[in-house]
A and B are shown apart, each in its own frame.
Chain A
């Protein structure tokens, strides 16, 4: 695939992520902060989000397996996940976290279990999509091109 096609593919892919509600304008903000001084800013922040999310999702899974469920601690963890997903513009994950917190508040185990499954699912999707997008960007850079805004 030539450079122009790659660039077009990237723009289309990015646009679809916004249209389908996977990303919101916070992601655009992140991109606008990237510059020559910090050329990997977006990748760095998103990588932190991946690390954070995986840790929190593991902890939430464990918490829901316990005999006595610590809802307060779970709520704090979901709050963290909500925060980091909102900071990078991972819109669907963020929205699910809000619902998840509501279930924590009323100590609804079924609701929490369901939400956890949904968050894991959505997280998996956005992770794959962002990684694909970064791969496309790298291909463009390797071909000597620049990333279209």
Chain B
């Protein structure tokens, strides 16, 4: 059964190595009625998604928002890993940074980030996420509806069968 879009909250995975910024982004997202999971590294983000093991992932994440400058795996590295994964490449990714470096911003956007937010992130930035989430949900619903239409109804099948009998 296809669930109405209003019934389930979107689940956002937030990635940032600084505690203050994690707290902030979590509050911003919760204020906008998103369900939030916040982790402090790209590695933990991948673990959460289930990318590091080959287990079937049963966690549904609708969007990933990640800081750019992080020790170890940067937000850009994370973006690339997500986009190169067959299971997760369709999850919209948003990157953020406190540094305004055009080449960095362009690289992220060119390599698949939907948006690039400059920190400190504001509520007006978080409002920009909804269209990306709604688009995915609409696409998913359309795909589900399509596949349901393709299931031939018993009556139609009977009609065809009858047609075949006529030579």
B157 interface residue (CB < 8 Å to A):
no
Q: In the assembled complex, which residues on chain A have CB atoms less than 8 Å from the CB atom of B19?
A: 48, 52
B122's contact among A29, A48, A88, by CB below 8 Å, is which? A29
Report how far A2 CA is from B31 CA in the complex, Å: 34
B23 interface residue (CB < 8 Å to A):
yes
Considering only CB atoms, which chain A residue lies closest to B21 in the complex? A87
**Are B18 and A83 in contact, CB atoms less than 8 angstroms apart?**
yes
- The A74-119 residues at the B interface (CB cut-off 8 A) are 79-80, 82-84, 86-89
Take A44-B23, A79-B69 as given contacts and tell me if A33 and B28 are in contact as well, using a CB distance cutoff of 8 Å. Answer: yes
**Are A83 and B23 in contact, CB atoms less than 8 angstroms apart?**
no
A45 interface residue (CB < 8 Å to B):
yes
- The B94-125 residues at the A interface (CB cut-off 8 A) are 98, 119-120, 122-123
Most buried by B among A32, A44, A84, A88: A84
**Are B123 and A88 in contact, CB atoms less than 8 angstroms apart?**
no
B24 interface residue (CB < 8 Å to A):
yes
Chain A interfacial residues counted at CB < 8 A: 22
**Are B20 and A87 in contact, CB atoms less than 8 angstroms apart?**
yes
Report how far A80 CA is from B18 CA in the complex, Å: 8
Chain B interfacial residues counted at CB < 8 A: 15
A38's contact among B27, B119, B120, B123, by CB below 8 Å, is which? B27
Q: In the assembled complex, which residues on chain B have CB atoms less than 8 Å from the CB atom of A79?
A: 69, 98
**Are A83 and B119 in contact, CB atoms less than 8 angstroms apart?**
yes
Q: In the assembled complex, which residues on chain B have CB atoms less than 8 Å from the CB atom of A22?
A: none
**What's the least CB distance linking A23 to chain B, in Å?**
13
A18 interface residue (CB < 8 Å to B):
no
Binding site for A on B (CB under 8 A): 18-21, 23-24, 27-28, 31, 69, 98, 119-120, 122-123
Binding site for B on A (CB under 8 A): 26, 29-30, 32-33, 35, 38, 41, 44-45, 48-49, 52, 79-80, 82-84, 86-89
